[in-house]
Amino acid sequence: MKVSNVALSLVVTVKLEDLDSHSAASSEIVGKALAEQVADYEKKRRLGYYPPLEYFQQSTEGIEPDLLDAAENLAWLATKLVREEVRKRLRPIFASLRIDAMQNLLYTMPKVRPGMPSARKKLAEHFTPNKVRLEFTALIMNRDGLEKDLKRYSSHLVHRWLDEHFEHIDVTSCRQTDLKTHGVNVS
């Protein structure tokens, strides 16, 4: 048996019905309303891009305060659901699990631009607060000879244990890290 440290990055999409069952607001409706208001703001100012939600948190115009509050609450809830589910499902299969970073993609810069085909639809998908980026480090016990396929094996484990609990999981990065840098020295 060998012990290896693996750093993984995921983008997890929470099922809308799971998110909505814990909230009074509908995440899909919030996403569409945010998209409309952001698109209108861009059109009035001819920005040529759609600003991220963080821009409107600092500004007093552009998005209704109640809508912004609903979006922030849903984003917090989605992040919390992902954290709890990942810990609950993955903790038993890894020797240790440490969540390094989490961010709801609602707060990132939209990849869609004005004038693109289906821009409003894609903007509504971006502003629906059910996608969370997650970075974690796990300690995994593996058989000898598995080092070559450790990334694929770790990715497989994540999908195997999480797929049925989320709408979609995308493993964006998986790399083996040095154990000594994390306070573990295995001989």
Amino acid at 9: S
- The Cα 40–Cα 45 span in angstroms is 9
Is residue 175 in a domain? yes
Is residue 135 in a domain? yes
Looking at residue 181, its pLDDT comes to: 43
Torsion over CA: 125, 128, 130, 136 (sign) = positive
- The Cα 90–Cα 172 span in angstroms is 17
- pTM metric for this prediction: 0.86
Is residue 132 in a domain? yes
- The Cα 185–Cα 118 span in angstroms is 52
> Residue 78 belongs to what domain range?
2-182
Is residue 104 in a domain? yes
Looking at residue 185, its pLDDT comes to: 42
Structural tokens at position 20: 């909505």
Looking at residue 186, its pLDDT comes to: 43
Low-confidence ranges of the chain (pLDDT < 70): 1, 143-148, 178-187
Is residue 128 in a domain? yes
Looking at residue 179, its pLDDT comes to: 60
- The Cα 77–Cα 104 span in angstroms is 10
- The Cα 187–Cα 182 span in angstroms is 15
Looking at residue 184, its pLDDT comes to: 46
CA dihedral 169→107→70→81, nearest 10 degrees, is 30
Question: Helix, strand or coil for residue 165?
Answer: helix
Is residue 187 in a domain? no
The b/e string for 2-24 (b: 16+ C-beta within 10 A; e otherwise) is eebbbbbbbebbbebebbbeeee
- The Cα 1–Cα 23 span in angstroms is 45
For residue 30, how many other CB atoms are within 10 A of its CB? 25
Domain count, the chain: 1
